[in-house]
Amino acid sequence: MRVLSLLVLTLGLLPLRPQQDHAKRREEMVKSQIEKRGVADPATLAALRKTPRHLFVPANSINDAYDDRPFPIVYGQTISQPYIVAYMTEIIKPQPAHRVLEIGTGSGYQAAVLAEIVKEVYTIELVDSLGSQAKNRLNKLNYKNVTVKTGDGYHGWKDKAPFDAIVVTAAAEHIPPPLIEQLKEGGRMIIPVGSPFMVQQLMLVEKKNGKARTTSLMPVRFVPFNRSQ
């Protein structure tokens, strides 16, 4: 044990926490980072308590997976902080029968949280290898109600529309018209809007009488909504 400890210190590595500790830290995360900041939807809180965030972050971030901060993954992308994931989830008012579209799969964490609540999640990732990694990760974790595809999220997923809700996890300079079209009447979309080089506004889009009504919620910083060429 002494030799192992010395090796860990020499290499600058941190030992992984046991599985039960991850569960304990998820509970602490929900209580201290999410509930205390006003998220109250029972389904959202239950999903955050269940989803193993440590399996969606890079290996060198596992021991810090339940801290309230984003982590860089690959290709300039990030996994959002737990509070933002919870807030965005609660805002769309997810229900068990809902079909939800996500734009920007990333590591798959937001899709996994949604999958704990709704009937079907369709998620689009622009970067092919990142989408493949997320798909494999979600399959291994037995998320059978999540469908992943690679593509340009600006155009949504017309074949699977309409959607009860849409979650966009990258900053767009404007709200893509195809996403509004693919949102059900009465549906809700949450999207960060603004320049990728400045603070953006997290916007709630509600579709009523075929038109989009927007509400500014809070300032945020998200990676840019990249388009395929």
Q: Which helix (H) or strand (E) holds 185?
A: strand 183-193
Active site residue 132: no
Do 65 and 54 touch, CB atoms closer than 8 A?
A: yes
- Sketch the domain layout of the chain as residue ranges: 15-220
CA distance 26 to 229: 40
What's the pTM value of the predicted model, to 2 decimals?
Answer: 0.89
Return the biggest CA–CA distance within the chain.
Answer: 69
> How far is Cα 41 from Cα 48, in angstroms, rounded to an integer?
11
Q: DSSP assignment of 189-223, as one string?
A: EEEEES-TTS-EEEEEEEEETTEEEEEEEEEE---
Q: Quick one: DSSP state of residue 135?
A: H
The Cα 59–Cα 214 span in angstroms is 38
Q: What DSSP line would sit under 32-45, residue for residue?
A: IIIGGGT---HHHH
Superfamily of domain 15-220: Vaccinia Virus protein VP39 (3.40.50.150)
- In the set 5, 32, 80, 132, the catalytic residue is 80
One digit per residue, pLDDT tens: the chain, 229 residues? Answer: 333 333 333 334 445 556 669 999 999 999 999 999 999 999 999 999 999 999 999 999 999 999 999 998 887 788 999 999 999 999 999 999 999 999 999 999 999 999 999 999 999 999 999 999 999 999 999 999 999 999 999 999 999 999 999 999 999 999 999 999 999 999 999 999 998 778 999 999 999 999 999 999 999 989 887 655 4
- State the Cα–Cα distance between residues 120 and 199, nearest whole angstrom: 31
